[in-house]
């Protein structure tokens, strides 16, 4: 069998992205050597700094450039002085939409020694995925504002749920549930209050469930579901939600699972028609940037998700195992996890662990 080569577009972005991405690459490189594949890297410096110099977060043909890659490996985007909507709409949203990354996937897994804010909860209690629909739903751009500034003022915003859009996220979530030991899928809904789109969501969920008799299903209204995330995280295995509900759950889930510094995320085009994008949940952390004390594990774990998506599951599992072992056995930890190691110490320890296997 010929040796595979994966083309990665590497975007460190802003702040601690410039510190975590090199550690992510260090561990990916160790995995590539050990599992026998090659990584061809192309670096892009697109960031808020680029914006300050050029007035653009990325060049006009940015998407065409990235389209040459198999995956995008991103650090963090955003910096004080550049409004969030500029960095979001100038870089992240064009990539997500342009590459039809209709799945946002976040593992919410409490690692050994991880710091969950929930009392008396251990790694056996918190291990689930949040699957968020990433292209339509509540975040449509249709609506309007009339009679502004008058007492007749009114504002509307539409939600858009299409059969194709709903079915494809459901299918992804059911397929993911099939790979999990408990084979359980929970749907986030609010069909008691939102009377057109959410009943439709429920209907498609029930319809899709017929194709997956091996998957146990349940559903909760989003409000009580948030409470259950906190009170009964052990109930969940895979959770699927619309763009808005998924957005909420995919911040709450990693928060329940502990340190923001270790949580990974993926924006996926499952058909691999376009590149998918992998990035840690955290932002650019201006308060600690430049000190080399940030936790690189969220970035490194995002790299593992990327390898799994590319078809290198053994390498991905090896990286996640290395993270678990490092945390369980008291390896180097950054400050956010109660240690005093630097970013590079953690990256090197994990790369060595992956190289040893």
Binding region for ligand ATP (CB under 6 A): 16, 78, 260-261, 282-285, 287-288, 294-295, 298, 334, 336
Rounded distance between C-alpha atoms, residue 285 and residue 158, angstroms = 33
Question: Which residue number, 208 or 350, has a Cβ lying nearer to ligand ATP?
Answer: 350
Only one of the segments 39-47, 50-58, 72-80, 295-303 lies at the binding site for Mg ion (rule: CB under 5 A); that segment is: 72-80
Q: Which does 261 bind (CB under 5 to 8 A by kind): ligand ATP, Mg ion, none?
A: ligand ATP
Residues 6+ apart with CB under 8 A from 198: 189, 190, 191
- Contact of residue 287 among ligand ATP, Mg ion, none (CB under 5-8 Å per partner type): ligand ATP
**Site for Mg ion, residues 267 to 296, rule: CB under 5 A:** 283
> How far apart are CB 289 and Mg ion at their closest, in Å?
11
Q: How far apart are CA 229 and CA 241, in angstroms?
A: 14
Shortest distance (Å) from residue 250 CB to ligand ATP: 12
Residue 320 in 3-state DSSP?
A: helix
Q: Between 48 and 173, name the residue whose CB sits nearer to ligand ATP.
A: 48
Nearer to ligand ATP (CB atom), residue 23 or residue 136: 23
Beta strands in 84-201 (DSSP E): 103-109, 127-133, 143-146, 154-157, 184-189
Residue nearest to Mg ion (CB): 283
Q: Which is nearer to Mg ion, 286 or 339 (CB)?
A: 286
* Interaction between residue 113 and Mg ion (CB under 5 A): no
Tell me the two tokens of residue 211.
């194709």
Buried b (16+ CB within 10 A) or exposed e, 129-155: bbbbbbbbbbbeeeeeeeeeeeeeeee
C-alpha dihedral (113, 114, 120, 123), degrees to nearest 10: -80
Q: Is 78 in the site for Mg ion (CB under 5 A)?
A: yes
The residue count of the chain comes to 357
For ligand ATP, which is the closer residue by CB, 101 or 295? 295
Q: Which of 186/284 has CB closer to Mg ion? A: 284
241 touches 173 (CB < 8 A): no
254 touches Mg ion by CB under 5 A: no
Tell me the number of residues near Mg ion by CB under 5 A: 2
Residues that bind Mg ion (CB under 5 A): 78, 283
């Amino acid at each position: 069998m010929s040796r595979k080569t994966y083309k990665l577009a590497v975007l460190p972005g802003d702040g601690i992205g410039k510190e975590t991405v090199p550690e992510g690459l260090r561990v990916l490189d160790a995995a590539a050597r050990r599992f026998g594949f090659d990584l061809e890297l192309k670096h892009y410096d697109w960031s808020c700094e680029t914006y300050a110099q050029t007035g653009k977060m990325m060049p006009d043909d940015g998407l065409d450039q990235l389209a040459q890659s198999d995956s995008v490996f991103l650090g963090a985007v955003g910096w004080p002085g550049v409004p969030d909507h500029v960095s979001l709409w100038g870089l992240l949203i064009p990539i997500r939409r342009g590459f039809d990354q209709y799945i946002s996937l976040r593992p919410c897994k409490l690692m050994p020694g991880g710091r969950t804010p929930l009392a008396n909860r251990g790694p056996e209690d918190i291990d689930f995925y949040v699957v968020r629909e990433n292209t339509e739903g509540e975040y449509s751009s249709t609506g309007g504002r009339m009679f502004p500034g008058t007492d007749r003022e009114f504002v509307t915003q539409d939600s858009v749920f299409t059969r194709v859009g709903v079915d494809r996220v459901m299918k992804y979530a059911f397929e993911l549930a099939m790979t999990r030991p408990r084979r359980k899928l929970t749907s986030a809904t609010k069909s008691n209050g939102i009377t057109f789109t959410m009943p439709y969501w429920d209907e498609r969920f029930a319809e899709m469930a017929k194709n997956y008799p091996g998957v146990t299903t349940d559903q909760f209204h989003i409000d009580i579901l948030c409470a259950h995330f906190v009170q009964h995280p052990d109930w969940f295995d895979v959770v699927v939600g619309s763009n808005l509900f998924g957005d909420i759950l995919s911040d709450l889930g990693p928060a329940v699972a502990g340190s923001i510094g270790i949580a990974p995320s993926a924006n996926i085009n499952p058909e691999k028609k376009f590149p998918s994008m992998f990035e840690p949940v955290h932002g650019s952390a201006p308060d600690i940037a430049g000190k080399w004390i940030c936790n690189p594990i969220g970035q490194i774990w995002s790299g593992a998700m990327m390898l799994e998506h590319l078809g290198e599951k053994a390498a991905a599992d090896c990286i996640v195992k290395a993270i678990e072992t490092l945390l369980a056995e008291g390896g180097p930890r950054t400050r956010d996890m109660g240690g005093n190691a630097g970013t590079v110490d953690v990256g090197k320890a994990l790369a060595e662990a992956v190289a040893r296997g």
